[in-house]
Amino acid sequence: MSQPINITKVANSKILEVDFDNIPFGKVFSDHMFVADYIDGHWIDPRIVPFGPFLIHPANLALHYGQSIFEGMKASKQLDGTPVFVRPLMHLERLNHSAVRMCMPEVPEDLFMNALNKLVNLDQDWIPTKEGSALYIRPFMFATGEFIGVQASNTYRLVIFTGPVGPYYNKPVRLLTEEHYVRAAVGGVGEAKTSGNYAASLLPAKIARDKGFDQVLWLDAVDFKYIQEVGTMNIFFVIGDKIITPATDGAILKGITRDSIIELLKENGYQVEERRISIDEVVEAYNNGTLKEAFGTGTAAWIAHVSEIQYKDKLMTLPPVEDRLIGPLAYNLLRNLRLGVTPDPFGWVVPVKTELVEA
């Protein structure tokens, strides 16, 4: 039995201030947010309140020792106007996986789904309708304990807020293979969507940008040889007639878009090899002319085509996107599923429950 969610609505919506034809990514927030607190072993006081700041104690454990995890997902409207989530339970599963690794409490399914449905239903006018745009949803959890000393907090806060995002400008990305810094090692926290991973990536990302690249291509922490992923995306290569993506080995974030693309390609008769792939294999394929495509997958962009990869002093330039088959196909398969253009054989597309919100 799910707990009732107490709802306090905003006095005045801010929606009229938003130019839906021109939404800057990550800067526009919808009217409401969901909040629940974990105290004495229970999630209590689930509530939807006007979006706004929290008071934080200076000894807050999340600020000092990093018990903080998040998810990123989207709600969008289908061609007939139905608002839908895609694979919300897989996002919850990953949130809970991150929680366990960071010694934080798990979130029950009924609490999570009830919160998502109520929040997105209440702010459904914030879901943009323009093709490629969506309502970005950011569930996150952080420690609220107040104590100076490294220990797991006894109390936590779960928050979900949302914000409209415009069509992601699919400009192909240039990658710099990182040879000095690592993102994650097996046994570490690379599989968790936890804030410290992203703080750790900022310096190498800045160095790459200063050299004219968009993102870092990460190699494994032991041999500096096997490809892991890119920024906040998983990576795929098309070599000859093979589609290859690194197997998730414990150090790679298990992308839900990655999983969806693998399944969708399989459904359409393509095989995807999930295995170790070294940067040397990619260079060799480039040298013998069989490296046809590379693309990243993630909730923000869905598919980001890779135009160039730098490794040591070698710059590999990939064929133009117009000449590619798999990346554009993967994008369209996911797009058609989301929009309801093609039926969903997987049960991934979940309509937002739009029953009337109690006052």
Ligand X SMILES: *Cc1c(COP(=O)(O)O)cnc(C)c1O
233 interacts with ligand X by CB under 6 A: yes
Name the segment binding ligand X (CB under 6 A); options: 24-32, 107-115, 227-235, 264-272.
Answer: 227-235
Tell me whether residue 75 or residue 122 sits nearer to ligand X (CB atom).
75
**Furthest CA-CA distance within the chain:** 65
Q: Which of 66, 246, 255, 327 binds ligand X (CB under 6 A)?
A: 255
247 Cα distance to chain centroid: 18
234 interacts with ligand X by CB under 6 A: yes
- Contacts for 138 with CB less than 8 Å, ≥ 6 apart: 70, 71, 72, 160, 161, 162, 163
Checking 95-98 for CB contacts under 8 A at 24+ apart, the result is 95/69, 95/70, 95/71, 95/139, 95/141, 95/193, 97/191, 97/192, 97/254, 98/69, 98/191, 98/192, 98/193, 98/194
Q: Which of 62, 253, 265, 279 binds ligand X (CB under 6 A)?
A: 253
CA–CA separation, 135 and 161 (whole Å)? 10
Name the segment binding ligand X (CB under 6 A); options: 34-42, 57-65, 135-143, 296-304.
Answer: 296-304
3-class secondary structure, 178: coil
- Site size toward ligand X (CB under 6 A) is 14
Nearest-approach distance from CB 343 to ligand X, in angstroms? 22
Neighbour tally for 291: CB within 10 Å: 21
Name the segment binding ligand X (CB under 6 A); options: 43-51, 126-134, 232-240, 344-352.
Answer: 232-240
Tell me whether residue 35 or residue 253 sits nearer to ligand X (CB atom).
253
Q: Binders of ligand X among 183-202, rule CB under 6 A? A: 193
CA–CA separation, 22 and 342 (whole Å)? 28
Nearest-approach distance from CB 338 to ligand X, in angstroms? 13
178 interacts with ligand X by CB under 6 A: no
Residues in contact with ligand X by the rule CB under 6 A: 72, 193, 229, 232-234, 253, 255-258, 297-299
